[in-house]
Structure 1
Amino acid sequence: MLEVGSTLPEVSFGYIKDGKMTDPRTNEIFGDKRVVVFAVPGAFTPTCSQAHLPGYVALADKIKAKGVDTIVCLSVNDAYVMDAWGKASNAEEIMMLADGNGFFTKSIGMDMNTSDFGGTRSVRYSMLVEDGEVVKIFVEDPGRFEVSDAETMLKNL
């Protein structure tokens, strides 16, 4: 499982940029940057859509004012779903990143089996990454939304 001091694995993600599918790698997103990541079990799901993403949308300017280069929302969904969810949520300041096959999520030990509604998904967490290394991480207990929210991250920057 990922912890403070861990280096993120080098994988490809899915991302829609200017209407086109791209496949940025870990180093492109996290290398030489200060990045806040929050991961959700699924796009358009209740807690993710009503609280988690909206909190980061509302506080994006304050988070970036603390020296954060990029805010990433990560989910085991495809890039088109993440793009549509970002547009529907007015998340212009958030990079809506897809881990379509769950390679990243599995490699950092943050996967969970949700075969009753979706198969492999991510546990809910947030982290601060500096130059590809985890500096802070907040992992939710199953079914909870208490420590990976935007307010907690902002207080810890």
Structure 2
Amino acid sequence: MSIKVGDKLPDATFMEMTEDGPAPCTTADVFGGKTVALFAVPGAFTPTCSAKHLPGFVEKLDDLKGKGVDDVVCTSVNDVFVMGAWGKSADADGKVRMLADGNGTFAKALGLEMDGSGFGMGQRSQRYSMIVKDGVVSELNVEQGGEFKVSSADYMLGQL
């Protein structure tokens, strides 16, 4: 069963690239006491994710913060090195927190995993976005199939 509006995020540990190298961070660290715009992509460096999804949040960062968002977070079932490199290449470094869900445990705990085996990608996260206030989901936008509509930064701005 999938997470829904009003639910508390499950406890999970991500990996994040820092100046000192890979470091763990928990859902409590990332979402506690803050309003966070979270979005998830099926894979770093994939076409829609790289051309539209991440760049949209980088571009709209100031608008999101102007509407009360403390942090913007991207997660994907990729390793911390890939997420760090993708953030740098997309000019997201220092703007969007790039959190690796390397084993897909967060995606699975949310009930938002998908099977990308048909594309040689294995188990991944669905494409979605959510607004999280102090660890509780206040808005949830899950894409259907291969669409990119409701998980965009522009769509989220309309919800704030």
- TM range, smaller chain: over 0.9
Which secondary structure state, in structure 2, belongs to the residue aligned with residue 82 of structure 1?
A: helix
Q: CA deviation at 1:142?
A: 0.8
Partner of 1:121: 124
Matched with 2:21 is: 20
1:100 and 2:102 matched: yes
TM-score by length of 1: 0.98
For the aligned residues, what is the CA RMSD? 0.7
Paired residues in the alignment total 157
Residue 143 of structure 1 aligns to which amino acid in structure 2? Answer: G
- Matching residue of 1:137: 140
Q: Which runs of 4+ in 1 moved over 4 A?
A: none
Compute the displacement of 1:88 (Å): 0.3
Cα distance in 1 between the residues matched to 2:81 and 2:61:
22
Of the candidates 138, 146, 159, which is equivalent to residue 156 of structure 1?
Answer: 159
Identity fraction in percent: 50
Per-residue deviation, 1:66: 1.1
Deviation at 1:19, TM superposition (A): 4.1
- Structure-1 residue corresponding to 2:63: 62
Q: Within 1, Cα distance between the matches of 2:16 and 2:104? A: 14
Shift of 1:104: 0.6
1:71 aligns to what? Answer: 72
Q: Using the alignment, how far apart are the partners of 2:20 and 2:56 within structure 1?
A: 25
Superimposed CA distance per residue, residues 84-142 of structure 1 (whole angstroms, 9 cap, x where no aligned partner):
00000001310001100000100110000111221000110000000000000100001
Q: Return 5+ residue gaps in structure 2 as ranges.
A: none
Q: Describe the SS at the equivalent of 1:86.
A: helix
Q: Which runs of 5+ in 1 are unaligned?
A: none
SS in 2 for 1:104: helix
Q: Secondary structure at the match of 2:25?
A: coil
CA distance in 2, matches of 1:88, 1:154: 25
**1:89 is matched with which residue?**
90
